[in-house]
Amino acid sequence: MLIYRFLTGEDDSSFCHKVTKALSEGWQLYGSPTYAYDAVSKKMKAGQAVTRNAKDQPYDPDRKLVDY
């Protein structure tokens, strides 16, 4: 089963660390990163989709994706 997550956060080093942590846990980048300006906080926001293959596990909507 292919699991999909979309990581978001301010466009700063903490976002890069979030993506790097996901990659170190076996997630793979899916597509290009996205950027948007948040007019309320007056900061750029970033997003990156990641996927991971979880073999021999049925999907459970009550389970956290990071637990697969």
pTM of the model: 0.84
Please measure the distance between the N-terminal and C-terminal CA atoms of the chain and give it in whole angstroms. 10
13-63: pLDDT as tens digits: 999 999 999 999 999 999 999 999 999 999 999 999 999 998 888 899 999
Domain count along the chain: 1
Q: Domain residues for 43?
A: 2-55
Residue 57 one-letter amino acid? Q
18 found inside a domain: yes
13 found inside a domain: yes
The enclosing H or E element of 45 equals strand 43-53
pLDDT for 38 equals 95
If 0-12 CB within 10 Å is exposed, 13-18 middle and 19+ buried, where does residue 48 land? buried
pLDDT for 55 equals 85
Alpha helices in 1-68 (DSSP H): 13-24
pLDDT reading at 67 higher than 90: no
